[in-house]
């Protein structure tokens, strides 16, 4: 399974765009990239998933370069409520969840 | 997506006892998962519980300690057996709805367990 590396923490301010990058150098051909958000005392929340290029939904955008060795989660115009831990996961779309690993995540702190 | 509820939301238990955590989903799903998250830490997958088959446990987790039931497509239980203080953690269940990838999961609110 592809290992992921993310910054441990990031700070930003309300109204800014925040980009969190995840490195996954040994991503496999059939692996997808998935991001989750977790607030304190809650279960993780699925944000976005992609395979290549760009994916956008009402919450975020996911940018994946052609070599797929990294990905960037982009949060537009963040607010205080976006303060959370963000996890990047890489794994195949099919089969089981054997060895599924969340990693340490990125602690994003948004300040006024 | 799917809406998942867990019972109990929290409990304080004495060492040596067992606790069964229930997970209920608002729709039929094949794949359900159980995780553990210790305070301030990331999530660790305990096992995959697919209806109609035995649960599949990750390395470091065994059926005798964490027996799982999956009687139908909307319900599962995880039992934490013969508890010790090291079992104090948040236990979460999740599902991968039909038609999504196994990495697109929806989580319950968690059960906060404290073992004294």
Q: What's the average pLDDT block by block, 10 residues per block, for chain A (112 residues)?
A: 88 97 93 94 94 94 97 96 96 75 92 96
Q: Which of A24, A43, A38, A45 is nearest to A92 (CA)?
A: A24
Note the pLDDT of residue A101: 82
Note the pLDDT of residue B98: 81
- Average the pLDDT over B90-100 and give the result: 91
- Average the pLDDT over B19-48 and give the result: 94
Q: Which of B94, B52, B34 is nearest to A44 (CA)?
A: B94
B48 close to A (CB below 8 A): yes
Task: For residues B17 and B115, give the distance between their C-alpha atoms in angstroms, rounded to a whole number.
Answer: 9
pLDDT confidence band for B6 (50 / 70 / 90): very high
Which chain B residue's Cα is nearest to A48?
Answer: B104
User: Quick one: A110 exposed, middle or buried, by C-beta within 10 A (0-12, 13-18, 19+)?
Assistant: buried
Note the pLDDT of residue A1: 57
- Average the pLDDT over B67-79 and give the result: 95
Note the pLDDT of residue B51: 82
Q: Do A100 and B106 touch (CB under 8 A)?
A: no
Task: Please work out, in degrees rounded to the nearest 5, the angle formed at the alpha carbon of residue A42 by the alpha carbons of B6 and B95.
Answer: 50
List of chain A residues whose C-beta atoms are within 8 Å of the C-beta of residue B33: 97, 100
Q: Give the mutation candidate from A46, A49, A71, A96 for the B interface (greatest B CB count, under 10 A).
A: A46
Note the pLDDT of residue A53: 92
Note the pLDDT of residue A2: 65
Note the pLDDT of residue A97: 76
Q: Do A46 and B33 touch (CB under 8 A)?
A: no
Whether residue B109 is predicted with pLDDT greater than 90 in this model: the reply is yes
Calculate the average pLDDT of chain B: 94
- Average the pLDDT over B90-111 and give the result: 91
Whether residue B69 is predicted with pLDDT greater than 90 in this model: the reply is yes
pLDDT confidence band for B99 (50 / 70 / 90): confident
Strands (DSSP E) found in B15-63: 19-25, 31-37, 43-50, 56-57
* Residue matched to tokens 């977790």: A38
Q: Do B103 and A103 touch (CB under 8 A)?
A: no
Choice among A13-27, B18-32, B88-102 with the minimum mean pLDDT: B88-102
A vs B: CB pairs below 8 A: 69
Spell out the residues 6+ positions from residue A48 whose beta carbon is closer than 8 angstroms to its own: A34, A35, A55, A57, A59, A60, A61, A62, A73
Q: Give the mutation candidate from B21, B33, B42 for the A interface (greatest A CB count, under 10 A).
A: B42
pLDDT confidence band for B2 (50 / 70 / 90): confident
């Amino acid at each position: 399974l592809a290992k992921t590396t993310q910054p441990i923490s990031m700070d930003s301010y309300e109204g800014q765009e925040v980009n969190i990058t995840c490195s996954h150098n040994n991503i496999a051909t059939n692996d997808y990239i998935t991001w989750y958000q977790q607030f304190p005392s809650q279960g993780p929340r699925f944000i976005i998933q992609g395979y290549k290029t760009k994916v956008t939904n009402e919450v975020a955008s996911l940018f994946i370069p052609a070599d797929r060795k990294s990905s960037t989660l982009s949060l537009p115009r963040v607010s205080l409520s976006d303060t959370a831990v963000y996890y990047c996961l890489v794994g195949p779309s099919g089969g089981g969840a054997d060895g599924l690993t969340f990693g340490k995540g990125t602690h994003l702190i948004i300040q006024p | 997506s799917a809406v998942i509820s867990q019972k109990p939301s929290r409990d304080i238990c004495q060492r040596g006892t067992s606790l069964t955590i229930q997970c209920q989903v608002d729709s039929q799903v094949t794949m359900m998962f159980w995780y553990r998250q210790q305070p301030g830490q990331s999530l660790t997958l305990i096992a995959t519980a697919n209806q109609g088959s035995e649960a599949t446990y990750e390395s470091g987790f065994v059926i005798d300690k964490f027996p799982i039931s999956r009687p139908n497509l909307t319900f599962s239980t995880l039992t934490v057996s013969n508890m010790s203080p090291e079992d104090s953690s948040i236990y979460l269940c999740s599902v991968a709805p039909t038609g999504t990838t196994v990495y697109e999961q929806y989580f319950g609110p968690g059960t906060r367990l404290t073992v004294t």
